[in-house]
Amino acid sequence: MMDLTQGWRCPQCGGELTQSGQYVLCSQHDKVAQAQGNLLVFGTQARPAQDLPPEEMAALCERAETAGWPAAMAELAERQPQVHEQVTDRRQANWLYAYPGPAGGQALEVDAAWGVVSQALADLFGSVYALAGTPEQACLLAARFAASAGKVKVAVAVFPQAPVARASLALVVMNGVLPGLAWERPERRPAQAHLACLRRAHELLRPGGWLYLAGENRCGYPAGADGLRLLPRGLADRVCRRGGEAAGNRGRTYSYWGYRRLLRQAGFARLLSYLPLPRWQAPEAMVPLWRAEPLDHHLTAFASLGGKAAWVRRVPLAPLRLAAVRLLAAHFGIFAQKGEG
Amino acid sequence: MRTLAEAVNKLLGDRRDLALLVAGMPEPGIRAGLLVAYRRGTPVAVGKFAQADRRQTLRLQKEQDYLGMLWRGVPFPTVGAIPRAMGAGKYGADGRVALQSPARGTTLARWLAGRPRRWERVLDLGLGWLCRFQRWQQGLEGDERPRPVKVEEPSAALGLLAGAGVRLKGSILTAIVDCYRALPEGASQHGDFSPGSVVWAGGKKLWVLDWEGYGQTAQPLHDAFHFCTAGGLAALGMQWGSGNAELLLRLYFRSEAVSRLAGAGIRRVADTVGVSGSLYPHLVAYLTRRAARSLDFAREDGTVPYLQDWVAMLEAVLEQGRMVADGNRVS
């Protein structure tokens, strides 16, 4: 049987793993994962992805396993052109152009979904760990990266469970996944669950390594249908419970200052905040938000912030414009660096 | 291997306090864009980057070479109007980034968008700069007349279009070749001179960007027509698209305020570069070349944005030209 443990470590202690039959063992923690086909499954599984209905996802998975990734994608393009566009849209990794760290080393993507970002990471980093939330996602990722000669390693694991060694990563990517991570830890309050995830990311990074965190702004304008996030946290919890969501309001987002406070609490030493435009999912521009001049330059030389945010140009002073964007931008992309010490 | 930020940092002297604004990566298949590097809030360089596309990376290198060449010559009378090349470097597996000195201000395209009353001022600024540039390029002083320069042949552009599967009718091809035969001597050209490539910070000071298409053996009025076409459409509040042919006829063949100004502006440039007679062959030659140049922007899936629009414009202008012969507006 093929040794699936190569490159992976115990998610709890970072120790070496050995495979025994369908189980993966750690010298200190006994059974830490199960082998399912060619994949390792660590711990419990996440809620299934919403992009495709479960039966279609299973059929796509089977197609990818038997006929390969290109054939599965050709089929997806016919059946679900919108999902196919999402799977192949490399703009999702455009934030990487602003990545301030060096190339090389190891990178990890939390909830790698369809693997677009992991593929872009593979161009810059020596090896990439792609963590999938469900076996179906992992199966598709494995098919996608079958030709990468082991450069992209795929496993099923829900963060903060991450089967890699401590202080080993150059980059951890949490691209819009933070609110979802609180759902996986219902025993904790959302802010605590988020903080635990960020602390774990900090622990996995090598000194000087970077975390990329993209997320929506709690006070973002326009807030959209989800006015819930503007309510005080306790009230939002009560509204959710009354609406039948027993766990309360788990999909918590933060303000510009809220994200920064959370990252500081997690131990990050240096924060570089960007405004991804027009949306964090596929940025066409990354505007630095730690000085007023780049934002002004963007407004005059490149483009506006979009129709609904054209008011920003009418705010009279540059520092006020910057403060307004920090307060009301729809989303942020934040690079957070672990201290060198 | 380097990241984009590392490559920029190295070109600018390995300082750690850079902020990068990255923009202009709008299409899924195009891995290219622009960046501005700031140090303590001040822009220190503007860059273009491209990845996984040999034609795009070659264009970056060409622009660096042209800028170097332009700066090595006699200083341009409006100092600083042409950016200075600041070097090029590699990033990622196959990416290339090229830096140049930054320009401050807003593009004329943004200033003009949706405000037709500004069209006259934009024409005055843009075409005025073009006249000065043409005379500088030829080293002319005072009343000195321009010297003849070799004119581009149509075969290259038509060959490229045929290679991309564009089938032009025989009568159209003959008309294009006839137009080229009627062209007088050429002049150097910027190649992509539009209000979007000109940055203006008030007064008379302009920065002209995007020199990838620079050439010294070309059509004399290419830049003037391109500036008026792109700017005229913006002044009329129109976007590039399938309705462009009708708009182009409106711009060059109808008697409207916008087109009267464009005609006068082009004639001004024609006088500067020593072109007399009909301007109609120049318009046809310009459209043929733009159609061929749009092939430089082919997407990964093989489609070419705007190619059919340019071809439609060319056909519409030739059709109109046949009807009105040289009695049309542009002559």
Q: Are A280 and A333 in contact (CB under 8 A)?
A: yes
Q: Give residue A169's pLDDT.
A: 95
Q: Give residue A122's pLDDT.
A: 92
Give which of A252, A256, A273 is closest to A100, Cα–Cα. A273
Instruction: Please judge whether A97 and B33 are an interchain contact, meaning their C-beta atoms are less than 8 angstroms apart.
Output: yes
**Sign of the CA dihedral with B127 first, then B132, B133, and B137 last:** positive
Instruction: Please judge whether A99 and B22 are an interchain contact, meaning their C-beta atoms are less than 8 angstroms apart.
Output: no
Q: Are B192 and B209 in contact (CB under 8 A)?
A: no
Q: Cα(A98)–Cα(B5) distance, rounded to whole angstroms?
A: 6
Q: Classify each residue of B68-94 as buried b or exposed e, where b means 16 or more C-beta atoms within 10 Å of its C-beta.
A: eebeeeeebebeebbbebbebbebbee
Report the chain B residue with the minimal C-alpha distance to residue A124. B92
Q: Does A340 touch chain B (CB under 8 A)?
A: no
Q: Does B92 touch chain A (CB under 8 A)?
A: yes
Q: Kindly report the CA angle at A230 between A229 and A232, in degrees rounded to 5?
A: 90
pTM: 0.84
Phi, psi of B11 (to 5 degrees): -65, -30
Predicted confidence (pLDDT) per residue in A117-158, tens digit: 999 999 899 999 999 888 888 888 999 998 877 889 999 888
Q: Does A128 touch chain B (CB under 8 A)?
A: no
Predicted confidence (pLDDT) per residue in A297-317, tens digit: 888 776 655 555 567 777 888
Q: Are strands A268-277 and A331-338 parallel, antiparallel or unpaired?
A: antiparallel
Q: Does B201 touch chain A (CB under 8 A)?
A: no
Q: Does B38 touch chain A (CB under 8 A)?
A: yes
Cis peptide before B83 (omega within 30 of 0): no
Q: Cα(B101)–Cα(B106) distance, rounded to whole angstroms?
A: 15
Give which of B239, B95, B86 is closest to A97, Cα–Cα. B95
Does residue A113 have a pLDDT over 70? Answer: yes
Region of residue A7 (left: phi > 0; alpha: psi -120 to 50; beta: else): left
The residue-averaged pLDDT of A45-67 equals 79
Instruction: Please judge whether A301 and B25 are an interchain contact, meaning their C-beta atoms are less than 8 angstroms apart.
Output: no
Q: Does B36 touch chain A (CB under 8 A)?
A: yes
Phi, psi of A242 (to 5 degrees): -65, -30
Phi, psi of B23 (to 5 degrees): -150, 165
Q: Does A97 touch chain B (CB under 8 A)?
A: yes
Q: Which of A123, A288, A301 shows the shortest C-beta gap to B106?
A: A301
Q: Cα(A328)–Cα(A87) distance, rounded to whole angstroms?
A: 30
Predicted confidence (pLDDT) per residue in A76-104, tens digit: 888 888 888 888 888 899 999 999 999 99
Q: Are B190 and B213 in contact (CB under 8 A)?
A: yes
Q: Does A298 touch chain B (CB under 8 A)?
A: yes
The residue-averaged pLDDT of A157-169 equals 89
- The DSSP code for A254 is B
Domain segments of chain A: what residues?
1-37
Q: Are A336 and A260 in contact (CB under 8 A)?
A: no
Q: What is the pLDDT along chain B (331 residues), one digit of tens a residue?
A: 889 999 999 999 866 678 888 877 666 666 788 899 998 888 899 999 988 777 788 888 888 988 888 887 666 666 558 888 999 999 888 889 999 998 878 889 888 887 888 999 999 999 988 888 888 877 777 777 766 555 667 777 888 888 888 888 777 787 777 777 766 666 678 888 999 899 988 887 888 988 888 876 677 788 999 999 888 888 877 776 666 777 788 888 877 888 888 888 888 888 887 777 777 888 888 888 888 888 877 776 778 878 888 888 888 888 876 544 443 445 4
Amino acid symbol at A223: A
Task: Map tokens 């990033």 to a residue.
Answer: B91
Q: Give residue A256's pLDDT.
A: 94
Does residue A212 have a pLDDT over 90? Answer: yes
Q: Does A296 touch chain B (CB under 8 A)?
A: no
Instruction: Please judge whether A288 and B21 are an interchain contact, meaning their C-beta atoms are less than 8 angstroms apart.
Output: yes
Instruction: Please judge whether A302 and B4 are an interchain contact, meaning their C-beta atoms are less than 8 angstroms apart.
Output: no
Instruction: Please judge whether B41 and A293 are an interchain contact, meaning their C-beta atoms are less than 8 angstroms apart.
Output: yes
* Among B15, B25, B94, B198, the residue to mutate for chain A (most A Cβ within 10 A): B25
ipTM above 0.90, yes or no: no
CA A62 and chain centroid, separation: 26
Give which of B189, B275, B255 is closest to B226, Cα–Cα. B189
Q: Which of A100, A284, A285 shows the shortest C-beta gap to B5?
A: A100
Instruction: Please judge whether A90 and B28 are an interchain contact, meaning their C-beta atoms are less than 8 angstroms apart.
Output: yes
The residue-averaged pLDDT of A282-303 equals 84
Instruction: Please judge whether B25 and A94 are an interchain contact, meaning their C-beta atoms are less than 8 angstroms apart.
Output: yes
Domains and CATH numbers, chain B: 4-100 (3.30.200.20), 106-327 (3.90.1200.10)
CA distance A274 to chain B (A): 9
pLDDT confidence band for A225 (50 / 70 / 90): very low
Amino acid symbol at B277: G
Q: Cα(A121)–Cα(A129) distance, rounded to whole angstroms?
A: 10
Report the chain A residue with the minimal C-alpha distance to residue B49. A97
Q: Are A298 and A291 in contact (CB under 8 A)?
A: no
Instruction: Please judge whether B33 and A288 are an interchain contact, meaning their C-beta atoms are less than 8 angstroms apart.
Output: no
Q: Give residue B328's pLDDT.
A: 40
Q: Kindly report the CA angle at A312 between A290 and A324, in degrees rounded to 5?
A: 50
Give which of A229, A203, A224, A252 is closest to A308, Cα–Cα. A224
Q: Cα(A199)–Cα(A206) distance, rounded to whole angstroms?
A: 13
